[in-house]
A and B are shown apart, each in its own frame.
Chain A
């Protein structure tokens, strides 16, 4: 069986959703939280479209695009990690997880550079409604990247101790599911806040 087949093959136990059921409760709660943010952003924007558009142009879209690539790539690495553990390749799983966490770290670095530039320009939460949303949503997402990295880190440590196998790797799928959520939110956040006018 080649690797692509392994990824798309159903879970050996055949259950859905993958990973621990409890994490899905958490994921849906988190998606709801971001969803409320996105909807409120949209409403707030309708009251002052021009101001939102003007402020939006001040954002660093290149940094945003780099970060999008970083997160999507790290999500792919996490998929590789799951595929590896399904074939009992524990070392490979650890390596892919490390790569995913590393890219998460890169995301944080880019974001910090972006924030620093904004603060240096005297822009803050209070500048206008757009920036209230920009900082609230991106900082909130930033915290989620950190939490996701902690979760993946815990999974990686357990994987390194040989805690997972092709038979039992719910933990890897649990961490992967959460990381994909963090990625998904950014995929919506980036165009919504940085691009769409």
Chain B
């Protein structure tokens, strides 16, 4: 670790991993509720489990991204973080606010939560992924603004690099687009229209910039390839991300009441969204093949390659699968969407956070360059178990989705929703088994932090 203040990333990463475990537990609860409808009812109804599962994902990824920024920015800017104390204070505010929100979801009915948090003063609740009480949303804005101030000041005072600039643009975009979560028009079409400005422009826009910058940072470190080469690729990747991703928002506008031309624009631009992910995969493998050093942290390199491949498959290929308007007419909101969502989030965002944790944690825990080989072997096992489990979750959900569409939306006498769900229960059971596999992978991952041994000389 070159700068003392990089250490503030550590609590962020630890919190991220803790919340990750919570997310997986609620995923398993919900997966079981798919086939045993009254499991844990009335304590944890399905809608609550789903809300906790998705909200925890978003929050822990934000913890991971912020941790990544606090770790990377000092090295990129060649100076200490502007205010490490502010970073730590914001950490606690974010953690406590996040925990209270989750407790609120679980302890009281959602309507009661809305009432006691004063949602009627500025109604923003009740929308998928943006379920957080308004005061939590305001808290998120305060935390993100404080965070932006902290890293922007650090970058402005220090060395400016493409990696830190791209990361900053990503975070500023993240903050700006989140503001649309406060816009809650009466008109449902307008509501959905701008709701996607948060949801889509996050995950298929600005988050990709954060992903690209973290990937570039780790690749510079582990491969020793010239910064200029890596930065050039980063430029092209983010250009393609923005060219395809921004208008690609149109693939959510097909059936919500927006003008018809979105079917053309959304289909074409979103069909091209796999390109930046494909470039990322080519880029990652190229850089590793051209490496100028043998970095002892093999696990971090594996995560870097893994995220590039899985993001291409999950976000790129599985996204393309159902993005064209004539196809989406049948697949919209089916289990195909769930399949895509799982692999895309895991491949693009979970794996990149685990990648930067894998690279930086050993250094923050006092290692010279990497964990001992034994610990890395366990971590790489965890990589494969989690990744293969996620591949199976995705495949089973895709199977469920195809069958669901066939039974429920095609033919002369389509089945009702619930009758169709009964028919695909087998796929849901298989998905749950794959989910247990993922949990085993996650436990293995946690164990890897406690495996000791001698560090390999770098």
* Interface residues on chain B, size class: 10 to 19
Instruction: Find chain A residues with CB under 8 A from B272 CB.
Output: 29, 32-33, 36
List residues of B (237-252) whose CB comes within 8 Å of A's CBs.
239-240, 243-244
Which of A18-26, A65-73, A77-85, A159-167 is the contact stretch?
A18-26
User: A33 touching B279 by the CB < 8 A rule?
Assistant: no
- The minimal Cβ–Cβ distance linking B264 to chain A, given in whole angstroms, is 5
List residues of A (76-119) whose CB comes within 8 Å of B's CBs.
none
Contact A29-B279, Cβ < 8 Å, known A36-B272, A126-B261: yes
* Interface residues on chain A, size class: 10 to 19
Q: Which residue of A lies closest to B233 (CB)?
A: A22
CA distance A40 to B268 in the complex (A): 8
Q: Which residue of A lies closest to B264 (CB)?
A: A132
User: B236 touching A26 by the CB < 8 A rule?
Assistant: yes
Q: How many A-B residue pairs have CB under 8 A?
A: 45
Instruction: Find chain A residues with CB under 8 A from B363 CB.
Output: none
User: Taking the complex as formed, is A190 at the interface, i.e. its CB lies under 8 A from any CB of chain B?
Assistant: no
- The minimal Cβ–Cβ distance linking B258 to chain A, given in whole angstroms, is 10
Contact with A along B316-353 (1 / 0, CB 8 A): 00000000000000000000000000000000000000
User: B279 touching A126 by the CB < 8 A rule?
Assistant: no
User: B268 touching A29 by the CB < 8 A rule?
Assistant: no
User: A36 touching B240 by the CB < 8 A rule?
Assistant: no
User: A29 touching B240 by the CB < 8 A rule?
Assistant: yes
Contact A133-B243, Cβ < 8 Å, known A22-B233, A36-B271, A125-B259: no
Main SS class of interface, B: helix
- The minimal Cβ–Cβ distance linking B236 to chain A, given in whole angstroms, is 5
User: B264 touching A44 by the CB < 8 A rule?
Assistant: yes
Instruction: Find chain B residues with CB under 8 A from A26 CB.
Output: 236, 239-240
Contact with B along A130-163 (1 / 0, CB 8 A): 0011001000000000000000000000000000
Give the contacting residue for A25; candidates B236, B259, B260, B271; CB below 8 A.
B236
User: Taking the complex as formed, is B97 at the interface, i.e. its CB lies under 8 A from any CB of chain A?
Assistant: no
User: A37 touching B236 by the CB < 8 A rule?
Assistant: no
- The minimal Cβ–Cβ distance linking B331 to chain A, given in whole angstroms, is 19
Contact A29-B275, Cβ < 8 Å, known A40-B268, A126-B260: yes
User: B236 touching A22 by the CB < 8 A rule?
Assistant: yes
Instruction: Find chain A residues with CB under 8 A from B261 CB.
Output: 125-126, 132, 136
User: B279 touching A37 by the CB < 8 A rule?
Assistant: no
Instruction: Find chain A residues with CB under 8 A from B267 CB.
Output: 40
- The minimal Cβ–Cβ distance linking B314 to chain A, given in whole angstroms, is 20
Instruction: Find chain A residues with CB under 8 A from B260 CB.
Output: 126, 132
- 24 A–B contact pairs at CB < 8 A? A22-B236, A23-B236, A25-B279, A25-B282, A26-B236, A26-B240, A29-B240, A29-B279, A33-B243, A33-B244, A33-B272, A33-B275, A36-B268, A36-B271, A40-B264, A40-B267, A40-B268, A125-B259, A126-B260, A126-B261, A129-B264, A132-B261, A132-B265, A133-B264
> 4 smallest A-B Cβ distances: which pairs?
A132-B261, A125-B261, A26-B236, A22-B232
